[in-house]
Amino acid sequence: MNNIASAILSLFHSFIPMRQLLPTLVFTLLLTTTGWAQTLDTILYQSESLTIKQISPNGYVHISYLHATNFGKVPCNGLVYANQQEAIIFDTPMEDSISAELIDWVENNLSATVKAIVINHFHTDCLGGLAEFHHRNIPSYANNLTIELAKHKPVFPQYGFDDSLRLAMGQAEVINRFLGEAHTIDNIVSYIPEDNLLFGGCMVKEVGAGEGNLEDANVAEWPTTIQKIKQTYPSLKVIIPGHGQIGGTELLDYTVELFEEK
């Protein structure tokens, strides 16, 4: 990153009033001085267990790690979106202690109150750290089918929906929607019109990824569900997969190609 971009980023994350007033301006300056791909790799916070990067004017990806027998150490993406001192988090980190680390970062660095946690599907890489959110009286939301599938776990989401759920944070909103089966039968997507940003979770693959865990997948329906995302949200700019590099609509195209019948 060049000196100009570094100075801008330092100011942005050192002065809370400036961050609250000028997030879009600062992010735009970063784009012009560093380039889009490089900005996506700007690390704002990093510990042994948690990494946080800014990906849009008000969006931040949180990354924690799943130690899987078949896949090794797997980075797992979640999202934080903040607007006017209110934030919603999408998917928990892997453990409660890391959830505490993330919530503390949001409160201390974004000066935002976490209003909700939204769970993408019933796997542990989406809700492994959910108890910490409940401990802090942060309500949790998920597809009703996710709640049903997760009821065998020690902690599961509190409030459900069938087709879609809109939640507000400040003057922005997120549309959480079930568009069909793919990685799991309950997986949803979360769309934020303010930034044309989509948290796709594990149904969306980074470019170059393999098929991954298919234990609970509907491979036959997977391409159709991804096509529904493209049709429902034609103006997408930023897409966050469940694992790996963030990108644009090329992630959707790649995922369709990966799973469509040859």
The stretch 80-94 carries a mean pLDDT of: 98
What's the pLDDT score for residue 73? Answer: 82
How high is the pLDDT of residue 186? 98
Determine whether 125 is an active site residue: yes
Catalytic residue at 205?
yes
Catalytic residue from among 120, 123, 143, 176: 123
Of the pLDDT bands very low, low, confident and very high (cuts 50, 70, 90), residue 15 is very low
- The pLDDT tens digits of the residues spanning 128-153 come to 999 999 999 999 999 999 999 999 99
**Residue 84 φ then ψ, to 5°:** 50, 50
User: Is 62 assigned a catalytic role?
Assistant: no
Structure token digits, residue 57: 């004017």
Spot the catalytic one: 121, 187, 195, 218. Answer: 121
pLDDT of residue 6: 47
**Each residue of 191-226: pLDDT tens digit?**
999 999 999 999 999 999 999 999 999 999 999 999
243 assigned to active site: yes
Q: Would you call 121 a catalytic residue per the annotation? A: yes
Annotated catalytic residue within 91, 96, 125, 186? 125
Active site (annotated) includes residue 230: no
DSSP string across the chain: --HHHHHHHHHHTT-HHHHHH-HHHHHHHHHHHH-HHHHHT-EEEE-SS-EEEE-SSSEEEEEEEEEETTTEEEEEEEEEEEETTEEEEES--SSHHHHHHHHHHHHHHS--EEEEEE--SSSHHHHTTHHHHHHTT--EEEEHHHHHHHTTSSS--SEEESSEEEEEETTEEEEEE----SSSSS--EEEEGGGTEEEEETTSPPTT------TT--TTTHHHHHHHHHHH-TT--EEEESSS--BSTHHHHHHHHHHS--
pLDDT in tens, 90-100: 999 999 999 99
Please state the CATH superfamily assignment of the domain spanning residues 42-259 in this structure. Ribonuclease Z/Hydroxyacylglutathione hydrolase-like (3.60.15.10)
- Residue 79 in contact with residue 190, Cβ under 8 Å? yes
Task: Look at residue 36 in the predicted model and tell me its pLDDT.
Answer: 43
Give the model's confidence band at 184: pLDDT under 50 very low, under 70 low, under 90 confident, else very high.
very high
Higher pLDDT, 31 or 249: 249
pTM for the whole structure:
0.85
Residue 167 scores a pLDDT above 90: yes
Q: Delimit the domains of the chain by residue range.
A: 1-38, 42-259
